[in-house]
Amino acid sequence: MDTTPIDLGHIEVLQILDEHAQLDEALDPGYAPEQLLRMHRGLVLTRAFDQRMLTMQRQGEMGTFAPNLGQEACQLGQVIPLTRDDWYSPSYRSFGAQIWRGWSMERLFKLWSGYHEGFPPPPDVNDLPFSIVIGSHVLPAVGVAMGMRYRNEPHCMVVNYGDGASSQGAVSEAMNFAAVNKAPVVFVCENNGWAISTPLGKQSATSNLAVRGIGFGVPTIRVDGNDILAMTTAVEQAANRARNGEGPMLIEAITYRMSLHTTADDPTVYRSQELVDPWEARCPIVRFETYLQRKGILDAEDAERVRAECDAEVIAARDRFRTDAVARPREIFDHIYGELPAELEAQKQAYLDRLDRKGVE
């Protein structure tokens, strides 16, 4: 495999399918055609869901959310190698991975539109709910991994966070603790170039974040995050290592945030289109489709059919969401305390009295 010299030695760099869809045959993971097509459909469905969410947000049907345009391969590659017994701790841009893990799209619509029942993971899915607080979910993820270690369970935890979160102390504490205790955890740092409006060069003195794993004694690899074959390969190797009791690993996934940080953001204020253009040519879906076409298992008509089917699937989920998502304003005090303090009880009663006066059920 190719390597790139950096200031703390050499960190392996993994790319299997380059931006021209040329395959490094020596590194081909050898997926069966049906698995490759399932991966392709997952990428397309993720983008279709993202685009529909953005439309609904602009129409006032959805709350603020974080689009993941251009990061589909990075997201799905984190979870494709996981089993149902493994755990996943997502950040707030991970809905493609959540769909793959078993979250229904209507559940995610509810989550992002503010309905409490959309937030908890489905009962049969070993995921943690994400936290909006940057990097705060990484320590609890290591805690879950340590629980597996104490119980001698042959499973692992994958936790992702962005380049911005890498500057949070909690992330460093989590990595150090995991390294010392050989926690079965895979850290995935999604380096998408921007921490909201702050470019990597203004928050880190090093041009890559993989060196931080070396500093804590954690084996580290840099991966082309727009190459789904490289992402799945790296995560599978790291997950197997963790399951075998060899401790944590850090994967720095190099990708790019093509869209908004969130729908409350306007990236044109702080970055030029000239910075974005080169990454449009590195689109993970176009790259993978080109590869599949050359391989003879997908043609242009098939690709268009998959897009239409995914669009229809998202629309059907949106319609189910619209039917099920009924506002229940009288319940807003019910999910905070088991027993309300007297001050909040008084506020609740004043609020309910106001609803009564307005005739709100």
User: Which pLDDT tens digit goes with each residue over 157-196?
Assistant: 999 999 999 999 999 999 999 999 999 999 999 999 999 9
Same domain, 239 and 221: yes
Same domain, 66 and 115: yes
Return the pLDDT at 4.
42
Same domain, 89 and 187: yes
What average pLDDT does the chain have?
Answer: 94
Same domain, 266 and 339: no
Return the pLDDT at 3.
43
Residue 342's domain comprises 331-361
Same domain, 353 and 317: no
The answer to whether residue 261 is catalytic is: yes
Catalytic residue (choose from 101, 155, 257, 318): 257
**Section 81-109 average pLDDT:** 96
Same domain, 286 and 340: no
pTM of the full structure = 0.92
**By C-alpha distance, which of 8, 85, 96 is closest to 52?**
96
Same domain, 349 and 305: no
Write a three-state SS string for the chain.
CCEEEECCEEEEEECCECCCCCECHHHCCCCCHHHHHHHHHHHHHHHHHHHHHHHHHHCCCCCCCCCCCCCHHHHHHHHCCCCCCCEEECCCCCHHHHHHHCCCHHHHHHHHCCCHHHCCCCCCCCECCCCCCCCCCHHHHHHHHHHHHHCCCCCCEEEEEECCHHHCHHHHHHHHHHHHHCCCEEEEEEECCEECCEEHHHCCCCCCCCHHHHHCCCCEEEEECCCHHHHHHHHHHHHHHHHCCCCCEEEEEECCCCCCCCCCCCHHHCCCHHHHHHHHCCCHHHHHHHHHHHHCCCCHHHHHHHHHHHHHHHHHHHHHHHHHCCCCHHHCCCCCCCCCCHHHHHHHHHHHHHHHHHCCC
Same domain, 213 and 255: yes
Same domain, 198 and 275: yes
Same domain, 223 and 355: no
Return the pLDDT at 351.
95
Q: What is the largest CA-CA distance in the chain?
A: 72
**CA-to-CA distance for 127 and 230, rounded, in angstroms?**
23
Whether the CB-CB separation of 161 and 190 falls below 8 Å is answered with yes
Same domain, 165 and 209: yes
Same domain, 256 and 322: yes
Catalytic residue (choose from 270, 271, 307, 330): 270
Task: Specify which residues 23 forms β-bridges with.
Answer: 17
The CATH number of the domain where 126 resides is what?
3.40.50.970
**CA-to-CA distance for 157 and 145, rounded, in angstroms?**
6
Q: Which amino acid is at 59?
A: Q
**Section 200-209 average pLDDT:** 89
Return the pLDDT at 7.
42
The answer to whether residue 270 is catalytic is: yes
**CA-to-CA distance for 98 and 336, rounded, in angstroms?**
25
**Section 130-144 average pLDDT:** 94
**Residues contacting residue 152 through CB under 8 Å, at least 6 positions apart:** none
**Section 70-80 average pLDDT:** 97
Domains contained in the chain, number: 2
